[in-house]
Amino acid sequence: MKTAIHVVGSGVVGSAFGLVLDGLGHDVRFVDTSSERRAILRSQGQVVSESLQLQDEQEAVVFLTLPTPSTKDGYDLRWLEQGTRSVGASIRATNAKVIVANRSTVYPGACDTLIRPWLEESSGKSAGVDFEVASVPEFLRQASALEDAARPWITVIGSSSDHARAKLADLLRPLGGCLRVFDNATTAETIKIANNCYNAAKISFWNELWTICDHLGLMSDDVAESVAISAEGSFNPTYGIRGGFPFGGACLPKDLDGLIAFSESVGLDVPLLQAVRAVNDEISRRSFALEDQAQATSLAAS
Ligand SMILES: NC(=O)c1ccc[n+]([C@@H]2O[C@H](COP(=O)([O-])OP(=O)(O)OC[C@H]3O[C@@H](n4cnc5c(N)ncnc54)[C@H](O)[C@@H]3O)[C@@H](O)[C@H]2O)c1
């Protein structure tokens, strides 16, 4: 039995991802509310419609690739809700075995607390019994969307359903790259958002260092590229990523204090470096408090 792949939301992500699956020989059908998007995909020979139809299917995977633009209050999930509820209405009208896999970027926990209830309400059916839900976040870059979709460096799948995890892994493994599969959607959602925040923090760090290099009349690229080769975080991917422990030792606190003091002495603001120190101070305070608590408990017990 051939599983139909439906892509709901056929913009940058949906069209790139769907075209890649189509190229691998899958039965891909696009859905988009925009007539312009539908016309573009139709002109490329794709099957595309305004709404999802599942009545004739026995088995289907529905990917949600809907807009989730951010506002200063967080993500605007209106399009995601509307699109998800329309998928739920299609699930109501079919006996097909359906996996709904969200690729839109969302808050950690959105699959379990929003997408799943939206689908249950609109379908009148139960997740985990009548259909399954998963998170498969997208990591492609807009400027190279098709190339990245065809050769993802990482694919992350999260679902509490064994069947959904296995099915999605079989579908996406042929694309290559690192495949990481988790037994819950929230881990996958958190990986996506943390990935972008990590990239953002890295860029802001080097912009802050650029202001210091600029002050010193140095080429910041010489500094950044050398550090990117030499710092342990570059050649040891697990360095510094275990949460809950502050950094210490002879060099890290000393050199951080040194660079902050130097920057301040020449009138440069270094809020990110100060934040690095503040986070470490807070984690140290909490670790010591926990140690004191453990010591007090063991003294009381002896
Ligand atoms: N663009 C990127 O580089 C990128 C990378 C990674 C993740 N993402 C995430 O992927 C998601 C999609 O982003 P995008 O860039 O493809 O957005 P996009 O705006 O290019 O495409 C979204 C498409 O969804 C359609 N749509 C809106 N409501 C619909 C509905 N109810 N039913 C069917 N179609 C509907 C729109 O017409 C549009 O064509 C977002 O959550 C985004 O954050 C984007």
How far CA 195 is from CA of 132, 172, 200, 275, in Å, comes to 26, 20, 9, 19
Which residues surround ligand 1 with Cβ inside 6 Å? 8-14, 31-34, 37, 65-68, 79, 82-83, 86, 104-105, 138, 140-142
How far CA 129 is from CA of 87, 120, 160, in Å, comes to 16, 11, 12
Q: How do the pLDDT tens digits run along the chain, 302 residues long? A: 679 999 999 999 999 999 999 999 999 999 999 999 999 999 999 999 999 999 999 999 999 999 999 988 899 999 999 999 999 999 999 999 999 999 999 999 999 999 999 999 999 999 999 999 999 999 999 999 999 999 999 999 999 999 999 999 999 999 999 999 999 999 999 999 999 999 999 999 999 999 999 999 999 999 999 999 999 988 998 998 888 899 999 999 999 999 999 999 999 999 999 999 999 999 999 987 777 777 777 767 66
Q: Are 82 and 118 in contact (CB under 8 A)?
A: no
Q: Which residue has the tokens 């991917």?
A: 237
Residue 235: CB atoms within 10 A of its CB come to: 9
Regarding pTM above 0.85, the answer is yes
DSSP H helical segments within the chain, as ranges? 12-23, 35-43, 78-92, 110, 116-123, 145-150, 162-172, 185-216, 220-230, 232-235, 252-265, 271-301
Q: Which of 62, 79, 140 for mutating ligand 1's site (highest number of atoms within 8 Å of CB)?
A: 79
**Which residues touch 192 (CB under 8 Å, ≥6 apart)?**
105, 137, 138, 139, 156
Q: Are strands 74-75 and 70-71 parallel, antiparallel or unpaired?
A: antiparallel
